[in-house]
Structure 1
Amino acid sequence: MFKLITGAVAGTAAALLLAGCTSAGPASSEPTTAISAGASHAPTTISVWTFNHLPNEVAAFTAALNRLHAKYPWLTVKFVPNKDDAAFAKAVAAGDPPDVFVASAPDNVGKFCANGTVADLGPYLSSAKVNTTATFPAATLVYTKYQGKQCALPLLTDAFGLYYNKKMFAAAGITTPPKTLSELAADAKKLTVKNGDGSIKTYGFVSRSDYNANRYIYTGVQSGTKFYGADGKATFGTDPKWQQLLQWDKSLGDSYGPGNVQKFVGRYQPHADDTNNPFLTGAAAMEFDGEWHIGEIDAAKKGIDYGIAPMPMLDSASGTYGAGDTLGTVAYLPAGSKHKQEGFFALQQLTTDTTFLNTLADTVSNIPSTFASLQSWDKANDPHWKPLVDMFKNPGSYYKTLTPAGEEDMDTWREFLLQYEQGKVANLPSGLAGIAKKIDNSNAQAGN
């Protein structure tokens, strides 16, 4: 479950901590073979850390780990919730990492893999006879591998779509959700409702990158571009579609009038995930969000008649409509674990056990991350969930290439996006070329 969004200061602090995280190396000459499920084993206690912290999430993990212990009494798990990437980096630097770490997002997979913080799971998977391509949908392998190494495994997946209020659509005479960004802008203007004093009562759609999940509109899929080219360089200065995407964004924001989008973000960003979310209150007719929003809407019990559709594409990329950003929770085996074989055993069970994945998916309102769990999941054909599951399976869905700089590239890109949206970038082509160079330099310094 990917909860958004860390602030720039918090992101920078985490980046500084992660920058100092270096290879922990193997703790011993322990073999990289998997433990057979039927083999006897000496009693062992391992630690599992996760970012999850809400009571229902912790309960779901605890129940799964208790089942694991009941099935394999030799394995005892010390479960520690509410640990983020920065806390993990500190533990690694101190020489005392957990045996399994579950992170909320994959942005640091490349960093942790490149600097040896986490183990290459390939030998363990081979020994355990786990065929990753037959077990996990292709979209999950994009964000769990780095330069051919399987340095993490997926544990639930996020997919992002366009939520739209059917009643508001009908009132505005709109019969189908938009498929292109020009259609989205036109519909947003039709759906915008003003109060008698000219202030905005309902926004059609707010695209600004610092609101809720919107930054994932600008990673490449929606514009038919790649964040990085085949040469490993950022494409912002060379692919004109980036300029078209940002101009669309700013034009839509400007159409609401000076300062109105800033007011919207200031008011609703603190409520992106609660009952005062603008889509729930009627302050927004459409919203780009992750699948967890379905659970939030259900919990609010406000009886909203809504639909979910793929996020529209830049007009020139309309042929790829249906694809979207897919990323999710990832599970690592720290290289410095003192119980790597036992840690992998637990990691394998958690990431491939259908009962656990489906139970956890229902608990946190996420999408299961194996073919088997998807096939047996009772929500797979639900009218709200199906568009997102289809997007997850779409061969055109992907996440940006991971690099040794970790989340620094996205932080840098987000800062530029916001500057442009606020009118602080005088020359867009020049600015895009400059930000591409800055990101390339960061990757070079990180060893890319």
Structure 2
Amino acid sequence: MFKPITGAAAVTAAGVLLLAGCTSTGPASSQPDTAITPGASHAATTVTVWTFNHLPNEVAAFKETLNRLHSKYPWLTVKFVPNKDDAAYAKAVAAGDPPDVFVSSVPDNVAKFCYNGTVADVGPYLTSARIDAAKTFPAATLAYTRYQGKQCALPLLTDAFALYYNKQMFKAAGITEPPRTLAELTADAKKLTVKNSDGSIKTYGFVPRSDYDVNRYLYTGAHSGTEFYGKDGRTTFASDAKWQQLLKWDQGLIDYYGSANVQKFVGRYQPHADDAGNPLLTGAAAMEFDGEWHVGEIATEKKDFDYGVVPMPVLDGSSGTYGAGSTLGTVAYLSAGSQHKQEAFFALQQLTTDTTFLNTLADTVYNVPSTFAALKAWDQRDDPHWKPFVDVFENKNSTYKTLTPAGIEDMDTWRAFLLDYEQGKVTDVASGLAGVGKKIDDLNSESGQ
């Protein structure tokens, strides 16, 4: 299961990255940036692959594929090291001893690692291997693996986000169709809200606060017809009025429930977003915005639960983008400091394009395969619960925000502002948006953009 770095972990990772400076291990070596010809004889070589994955079934899936790779190409041995994050990778890079390949759970540092030379551009290797990235990987993945024309990473499974809803609650409330706009979502949320005799809330229709579960991805632009960054590379918070509309929608629903009640909801259910105590499963919420991994969790925790999945509703006036959504996922890097770049890319190529491995790992961690070939062969793609996520992933308008050399720090800054706004610490939304926009622009300028 993929979960983006959040909360304290995100701050820690960002802090380590700043401390380490993400410096590369030195000038590019004279190693050729061409791919190895499969089947050709080759000197015995060992490469190291680090990954964030750590659960036994995840590790087993990786090891099985790497063992198959070694059996097919005996000259290649992969030293596999699980449970490594971006902070550990940054430390290894700063120490001059990076792994040859690093698999990260989040794409936010792709541009940062690419800009400062921490990772290699794999574009030339893809060309040499006759792999057309645009024909191999859906466009949504290329949005978060490229920076300024360079292919800085390759996707390894992906995440899409959608709206989960309780079918029985919808029926009881007389709602025949799930909402397609945020105004419809608000109306349905109010119809679905149930109060106890003492006035306390028994069931929330929908809780939009940005720090609950993965709600932060509601506020990156995909659901409001906005761009986080404009063509000039600067934030659009002050220039695009839709950001104000989006935040006013958010605050309006919070005000309907009462900020104290929403605070209690987040405090109670955030620790249970992914287990049997999830509010959608317990009846404490009628709708929830979540990633595709939740389908697997529901099958494990409450397999008879009657629910539906549809694209997340969009801001009114942005109906043309309904069906698209936020998409991001795991990324795999080739370290610029690798002493075996050709061999390391060969291992990277197998991990990111092998259909059997991708589909096995997707089923293991409840993610969506990240190549066209794997998607076509995946036995879950037409399942009524999985198909909406595949459709969102394949939608041409689905994307993640533009990445910058500031790395995850721009999202950390944005998230801090959103929470301040939702908790009433920002009273003028227009000036608040202008202020956080400038802060992020300055951050990007300082990072080299």
Shorter chain as denominator, the TM-score bin is over 0.9
Q: Deviations over 1:59-89 (max 9, x none)?
A: 1111111111111111111111111111100
Q: Deviations over 1:132-163 (max 9, x none)?
A: 01111111111100000001000001000000
Q: 1:339: how far off?
A: 1.4
Given that residues 49 and 102 in structure 1 are in contact (C-alpha distance below 8 angstroms), is that contact kept between their aligned partners in structure 2?
yes
Q: 1:26: how far off?
A: 4.9
Q: Deviations over 1:303-346 (max 9, x none)?
A: 11001000000001112110100111100001011211111000
Structure 1 distance, partners of 2:81, 2:60, is 12
Structure 2 distance, partners of 1:173, 1:22, is 58
- Cα 1:384–1:321 shift into 2, 3 Å: same
Write out aligned runs for 1:229-308 (5 A): 229-308=230-309
1:359 maps to what in 2? 360
| Equivalent position SS for 1:259 | helix
Q: 1:4: how far off?
A: 4.2
1:157 aligns with 2:158: yes
Write out aligned runs for 1:42-53 (5 A): 42-53=43-54
| Equivalent position SS for 1:391 | helix
2:198 maps to what in 1? 197
Given that residues 100 and 343 in structure 1 are in contact (C-alpha distance below 8 angstroms), is that contact kept between their aligned partners in structure 2?
yes
Structure 2 distance, partners of 1:359, 1:11, is 29
Given that residues 27 and 338 in structure 1 are in contact (C-alpha distance below 8 angstroms), is that contact kept between their aligned partners in structure 2?
no
Counterpart residue identity of residue 14, structure 1: A
Structure 1 distance, partners of 2:191, 2:5, is 29
Q: How many residues align?
A: 447
Write out aligned runs for 1:329-368 (5 A): 329-368=330-369
1:75 maps to what in 2? 76
1:325 maps to what in 2? 326
Given that residues 312 and 321 in structure 1 are in contact (C-alpha distance below 8 angstroms), is that contact kept between their aligned partners in structure 2?
yes
1:63 maps to what in 2? 64
| Equivalent position SS for 1:48 | strand
Given that residues 157 and 368 in structure 2 are in contact (C-alpha distance below 8 angstroms), is that contact kept between their aligned partners in structure 1?
yes
Identical residues among aligned pairs (%) = 75
2:32 maps to what in 1? 31
Structure 1 distance, partners of 2:29, 2:227, is 40
Given that residues 281 and 302 in structure 2 are in contact (C-alpha distance below 8 angstroms), is that contact kept between their aligned partners in structure 1?
no
Q: Deviations over 1:351-394 (max 9, x none)?
A: 00000001000111110010100111111111011111011111
Write out aligned runs for 1:89-104 (5 A): 89-104=90-105
2:214 maps to what in 1? 213
| Equivalent position SS for 1:76 | strand
Given that residues 222 and 311 in structure 1 are in contact (C-alpha distance below 8 angstroms), is that contact kept between their aligned partners in structure 2?
yes
| Equivalent position SS for 1:319 | helix
Structure 2 distance, partners of 1:396, 1:10, is 30
Given that residues 5 and 106 in structure 2 are in contact (C-alpha distance below 8 angstroms), is that contact kept between their aligned partners in structure 1?
no
Write out aligned runs for 1:100-115 (5 A): 100-115=101-116
5+ residue gaps, structure 2, are none
Structure 2 distance, partners of 1:351, 1:253, is 41
Structure 2 distance, partners of 1:118, 1:374, is 27
Q: 1:25: how far off?
A: 3.3
1:2 maps to what in 2? 2
Q: 1:302: how far off?
A: 4.5
User: Which is worse superposed, 105-114 or 294-303?
Assistant: 294-303
Counterpart residue identity of residue 6, structure 1: T
1:14 maps to what in 2? 13
Structure 1 distance, partners of 2:15, 2:277, is 34
Counterpart residue identity of residue 6, structure 2: T
1:417 aligns with 2:408: no
| Equivalent position SS for 1:139 | helix
Structure 2 distance, partners of 1:174, 1:47, is 54
Once superposed, what is the RMSD of the aligned Cα atoms?
1.0
TM-score (norm 1): 0.98
| Equivalent position SS for 1:156 | coil
Given that residues 51 and 82 in structure 2 are in contact (C-alpha distance below 8 angstroms), is that contact kept between their aligned partners in structure 1?
yes
- Cα 1:5–1:76 shift into 2, 3 Å: closer
1:406 maps to what in 2? 407
5+ residue gaps, structure 1, are none
Structure 1 distance, partners of 2:328, 2:103, is 14
Q: 1:5: how far off?
A: 4.9
| Equivalent position SS for 2:187 | helix
Structure 2 distance, partners of 1:87, 1:329, is 16
Structure 2 distance, partners of 1:387, 1:14, is 32
Structure 1 distance, partners of 2:174, 2:110, is 45
TM-score (norm 2): 0.98
Structure 1 distance, partners of 2:5, 2:357, is 27
Q: Deviations over 1:173-199 (max 9, x none)?
A: 011110000000110111111112111
Q: 1:201: how far off?
A: 1.1
